């Protein structure tokens, strides 16, 4: 029984002869390539491609390469990729194909591993499709089970929701009946409360006028004092701003000078680097020439030694020839016929010795010349090295000056940044002070308008002497239904939106709510004076905290959707 070590989806680039490169497609069920490697096949593959792993560790190393390809799939220029190539066929039919693990870089495409795959036979394809079909069926059964379970859960939730709805409907009917009874009781007591509230309003008006006059005097004094403080502060800020502006201009000029010096130093550094590179190239060329001359000298010395050995051999031959000549002269009378041939041999030997002597003299001259050139080259190399060392010292000093200028530039920029932050903070403080001054003026104006409007309303009510419904007195238990019923006709309660409170809990104390129709506005006073302000000053004696709680029912939780499982028709 085989064990599955790797089963993932990979992106494979298909490359055929005379066609564009493309990716593999899972929609082709007949696309199947197999490869079985035995230990003997692996040894051949190892020798052919120069692998450094053994047969036991080869699967894990191959899996590591595939994981590298997966990690690089989403990049624009992946470093590792898989290629399925068929160099002999324009399309991938039933011909063999090569699966290559390729590492790409800026220089070349390096193939780490190349495996030859064979197209699956009909029997292998049927087995593979059968396995895929069984996997799909198992997933289908699991999905059906999950669907059945989900339907049961939703049915139970639906029945529970219907039951809860019926209970809430009964509670709503009960609340409506209670609200009707409470409304009738409140209508009877409303007229008495209205008369008492009118008397309280007159007393409140008188007290408010006195408080407003005192508040106006206090605000005028505080306004005058704050205006003087702000003007003095503004003068100080303007002087500080001018100083900071001058410092900024000076810093900018210093930065420009430093930038100019920096550019000059960089150009000098670049020129010095180029000179050092050219000197190094010349030095390497001279080293090459020196090595070549040394090699020639060694060859000539070897040839000289050979020639000297040949001369020694010739001298020995000449000595032996002389001995033979002496013996021949002694036997001259007997071997007179051979004398001429011996004389010719002696002449040839003497000519050979003379030629060898001349070649030896020439070789010595060449050796002396090469030795002189070698000494000259050594002097040039020494001089080049001295120039290179001096250039490197100059370059190091230039780089140190460049680093010093960069540090000065950074310090100057940091100081300029701190100055700009201080200027911005001072500007924000000035704007906040001006804004507070405007808000104080607006509050004073608003209080005056409210008092004028209250006076006008009280005068109109006293002149008309007719009962007019200007508000409703409600208890917290009837507030929810009353507010919900009036949403169609009334839009605001003292500038606040009227909304249904649902089951929100209100205070047990009674509260006064003044209703204004959407199509009617109080005469002589704009609606903006009823808007709520965070920094407004509450008027003493008025009922503050007039508000409605809004409780929005929470929506039911969203039903979790069924997540689609990845297809196992073609396992990766």
Residue 109 falls inside a structural domain: yes
CATH of the domain at 24: 2.170.210.20
Residue 391 falls inside a structural domain: no
Structure tokens at 87: 């160099």
pLDDT digits (tens, 9 = 90+) for 382-424: 887 788 788 778 888 877 887 887 788 788 778 778 877 877 7
Q: Average pLDDT, stretch 80-86?
A: 88
List C-alpha distances in Å: 122 to 31, 32, 127, 185: 11, 10, 9, 92
Lowest mean per-residue pLDDT among 101-105, 271-275, 553-557: 553-557
Residue 150 falls inside a structural domain: no
Predicted confidence band of residue 335 (pLDDT cuts 50, 70, 90): low
* Adjacency order of strands within the sheet including 22-23: 22-23, 12-16, 80-86, 97-104, 109-119, 33-34
Residue 88 falls inside a structural domain: yes
Residue 88 has pLDDT above 60, yes or no: yes
Q: What is the dihedral of CA 36, 42, 48, 53, to 10 degrees?
A: 130
Q: What is the dihedral of CA 172, 175, 177, 181, to 10 degrees?
A: -160
Structure tokens at 268: 């000098």
Q: H or E stretch including 215?
A: helix 122-330
Calculate ∠ Cα 369-372-374, nearest 5°. 110
Lowest mean per-residue pLDDT among 34-38, 98-102, 444-448: 444-448
Residue closest to 470 by CA, chosen among 132, 194, 260 = 194
| CA within 13 Å, CB half, 340 | 1
Predicted confidence band of residue 477 (pLDDT cuts 50, 70, 90): very low
CA distance 218 to 349: 141
Structure tokens at 410: 């950074």
pLDDT of residue 20: 67
CA distance 33 to 92: 10
pLDDT of residue 43: 93
CA distance 38 to 402: 65
> What's the predicted TM-score (pTM) here?
0.30
Residue 562 falls inside a structural domain: no
Q: What is the mean pLDDT of the chain?
A: 76
Stronger pLDDT, 174 or 549, i.e. the higher one: 174
Residues 6+ apart with CB under 8 A from 378: 290
pLDDT digits (tens, 9 = 90+) for 194-248: 888 888 888 888 888 888 888 888 888 888 888 889 889 888 888 888 889 888 8
In 425-556, which ranges are E strands?
Answer: 472-474, 490-493, 496-497, 511-513, 515-517
Query: Which residues on adjacent β-strands are paired with residue 14?
Result: 22, 84
When divided into structural domains, the chain yields a total of: 1
Residue closest to 513 by CA, chosen among 538, 537, 486 = 486
Domain that holds residue 85: 10-120
C-beta atoms surrounding 207 within 10 Å: 13
Residue 19 falls inside a structural domain: yes
Residue 72 falls inside a structural domain: yes
Residue 58 falls inside a structural domain: yes
Q: H or E stretch including 34?
A: strand 33-34
pLDDT of residue 40: 92
- Residues 214-221: contacts with CB within 8 Å, 24+ apart? 215/447, 215/537, 216/444, 216/447, 216/448, 219/440, 219/443, 219/444
Lowest mean per-residue pLDDT among 73-77, 89-93, 145-149, 182-186: 89-93
Lowest mean per-residue pLDDT among 220-234, 282-296, 328-342, 462-476: 462-476
The winner for highest mean pLDDT among 6-20, 22-36, 284-298, 381-395 is 284-298
pLDDT digits (tens, 9 = 90+) for 45-56: 999 999 999 999
């Amino acid at each position: 029984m085989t064990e599955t070590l790797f089963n993932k989806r990979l992106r494979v680039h298909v490359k055929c002869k005379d066609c564009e490169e493309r990716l593999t497609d899972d929609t082709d069920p007949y696309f199947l390539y197999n490869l079985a490697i035995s230990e003997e096949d692996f040894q051949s593959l190892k020798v052919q491609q120069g692998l450094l792993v053994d047969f036991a560790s080869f699967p894990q190393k191959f899996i590591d390469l595939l994981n590298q390809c997966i990690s690089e799939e989403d990049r624009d220029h992946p470093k590792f990729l898989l290629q399925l190539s068929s160099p002999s066929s324009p399309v991938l039919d039933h011909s063999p194909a090569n699966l290559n693990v390729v590492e790409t870089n800026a220089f070349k495409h390096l193939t780490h591993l190349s495996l030859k795959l064979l197209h699956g036979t009909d029997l292998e394809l049927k087995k593979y499709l059968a396995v895929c079909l069984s996997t799909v069926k198992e997933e289908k059964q699991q999905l059906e089970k999950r669907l059945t379970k989900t339907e049961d859960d939703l049915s139970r939730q639906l029945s529970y929701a219907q039951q809860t709805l019926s209970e809430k409907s009964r509670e709503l009917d009960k609340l409506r009946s209670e609200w009707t009874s409470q409304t009738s009781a409140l209508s009877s007591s409303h007229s008495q409360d209205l008369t008492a509230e009118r008397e309280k309003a007159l007393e409140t008006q008188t007290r408010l006028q006195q408080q407003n006059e005192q508040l106006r005097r206090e605000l005028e004094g505080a306004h005058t004092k704050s205006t003087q403080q702000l003007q003095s502060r503004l003068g100080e800020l303007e002087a500080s701003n001018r100083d900071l502006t001058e410092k900024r201009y000076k810093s900018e000029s210093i930065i420009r000078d430093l930038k100019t010096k920096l550019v000059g130093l960089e150009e000098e550094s670049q020129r010095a680097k180029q000179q050092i590179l050219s000197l190094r190239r010349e030095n390497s060329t001279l080293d090459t020439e020196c090595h070549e001359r040394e090699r020639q000298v060694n060859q000539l010395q070897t040839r000289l030694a050979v020639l000297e050995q040949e001369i020694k051999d010739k001298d020995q031959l000449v000595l032996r020839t002389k001995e033979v000549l002496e013996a021949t002269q002694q036997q001259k009378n007997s071997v007179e016929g051979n004398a001429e041939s011996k004389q010719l041999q002696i002449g040839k030997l003497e000519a050979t010795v003379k030629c060898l002597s001349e070649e030896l003299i020439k070789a010595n001259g060449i050796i002396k010349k090469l030795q002189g050139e070698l000494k000259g080259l050594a002097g040039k190399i020494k001089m080049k090295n001295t120039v290179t060392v001096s250039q490197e010292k100059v370059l190091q000093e230039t780089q140190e000056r460049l680093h010093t200028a960069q540090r000065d530039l950074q310090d100057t920029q940091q100081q300029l940044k701190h100055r700009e932050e201080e200027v911005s903070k001072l500007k924000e403080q000035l704007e906040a002070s001006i804004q507070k001054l405007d808000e104080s003026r607006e509050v004073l104006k608003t209080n005056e308008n409210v008092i004028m409007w209250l006076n006008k309303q009280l005068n109109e009510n006293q002149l008309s002497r007719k009962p007019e419904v200007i508000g409703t007195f409600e208890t917290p238990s009837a507030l929810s239904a009353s507010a919900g019923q009036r949403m169609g006709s009334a839009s605001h309660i003292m500038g606040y939106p009227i909304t249904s409170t649902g089951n929100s809990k209100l205070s047990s104390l009674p509260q006064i709510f003044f209703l204004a129709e959407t199509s009617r506005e109080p005469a002589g006073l704009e609606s903006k004076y009823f808007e709520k302000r965070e920094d407004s000053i509450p008027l003493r004696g008025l009922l503050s905290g007039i508000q409605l709680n809004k409780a929005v029912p929470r929506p039911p939780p969203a039903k979790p959707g069924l997540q689609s499982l990845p297809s196992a028709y073609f396992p990766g």
